[in-house]
Structure 1
Amino acid sequence: MPAITTQPATAERWDDVQHALSGGGDGRSCQCAWFTLTNAEFDRISADERRDLLRGEVETAPPPGLIAYVDGDAAGWVRVSPRTAQRRIARTRAIVTSTPEPLDDDSVWAITCFVVRKEYRGLGLNAALLRPAIELARRHGARVIEAYPVDTSTGHVRPNDLYHGALSTFLAAGFTETAVTKPGRPLVALEL
């Protein structure tokens, strides 16, 4: 059984953030900027500029996410930060009409992105990242954490569509389903 550990994404772990994001899916090109930018902004800037934006986030506190390590190798990533810092959420009608939480409340955090390198899939890294993500949010004043996972029980889901995480992972961590934003896409929340 491999040893799985997690660490906050900080400036001294920048190379590990990049390694975790580069092993599959859209992590290398997205740089976990999808939820922090509007559509127009995301389309206008390059992957290098997105990487610079993420680096700026990593160099400030609190960290915008966590890195999972498998036997010391950076293998996965999760974004967890105040929902207000993830501007796309307030522009996503399905979420806006489903959340009971005020959109301008900094005490509401969101977990919006998981990336797991292909060679480490199937080891439970999303669950391993979720537990410390909850604790990171709690330590930095979160009152509620929301997430917008995929319900994998409704049929086949492409691996690239799982960056939101699986509903079952969030339910196992104590989140409750509070709304359905669209078929197969619930809104879940955890009161802290």
Structure 2
Amino acid sequence: MTKTKSGALKVKDLTKATWNDFESVMGSNGGASGCWCMHWRLSIAEFMEQKGDGNKKSMKRLSQRKQPPGVVIYEDDDPVAWCSLGPRGDFSRLERSPLLKEVDDTPVCSIACIYVEKKHRKSGLMPAILDAVCDYAAAHGYTTVEGYPIEPAKGKKAGPDSVMTGVASAFVKAGFDEVSRPRKDRPIMRRTVS
């Protein structure tokens, strides 16, 4: 359990039991533009074809599998965030991305998306969320966690569509190191966990 200023963070698999909390975090629009966190799991054509309800149904099916597609993060009992994570190979669009190519052959737990519930944004929770997610990954046998945050230009703000993978400064605060920078605003970051 990761401590925060106002409580403790808990991480729970996305399952039938936590589905309503996932919906609460994602809001009625399913995160950004009806994504329901399917962006990295589908081709752009598939994603656009099922945008909204179709993506929601796909994620609901994934939540019923043995290996969950991600986790819901709680501050005390309040669902505050969602994190899509798992083996890099689970994210077909990430695997095909010319920008976010595999750095090396190290097996990683990829953090493909971090979505913070609207009222908890700008609260400084992100490093603690990343810590909690890394603890979860370590408990599930991973030794390396990899993220693909953005690093907005100085003085620029990034919107929810572009920060779905997180912000580099939060990863640094959570103990991640940059291992590659394929583009000026896109570092690939890793943290060793045990």
One-letter identity of the residue aligned with 2:95: A
Q: Do 1:23 and 1:118's aligned partners in 2 also have CA atoms closer than 8 Å?
A: no
Partner of 2:103: 100
Whether 1:6 aligns to 2:10 is yes
Q: TM-score, with normalisation over the residues of structure 2? A: 0.84
2:179 maps to a residue whose letter is: T
TM-score, with normalisation over the residues of structure 1? 0.85
Q: Contact between 1:81 and 1:110, CA under 8 Å: does it hold in 2?
A: yes
Matched, 1:56 2:57: no
Q: Which amino acid aligns with 1:3?
A: G
Q: Which runs of 4+ in 1 moved over 4 A?
A: none
- Residue equivalent to 1:125: 125
User: Could you say what secondary structure the match of 2:126 adopts?
Assistant: helix
Unaligned runs of at least 5 residues, structure 1: none
In angstroms, what is the RMSD of aligned CA positions? 2.3
**CA distance in 2 between partners of 1:23 and 1:2 (Å):** 26
**Are 2:177 and 1:173 aligned?**
no
1:62-101 counterparts in 2 under 5 A?
62-70=67-75, 72-96=77-101, 99-101=102-104
Identity among equivalent positions (%) equals 26
Aligned length: 187
Which amino acid in structure 2 is aligned with residue 49 of structure 1? G
Contact 2:176 2:191 (8 Å CA) reproduced:
yes
Per-residue CA distance 1:85-122 (angstroms, 9 max, x = gap): 011111110111xx3223xx7x3221121112221112
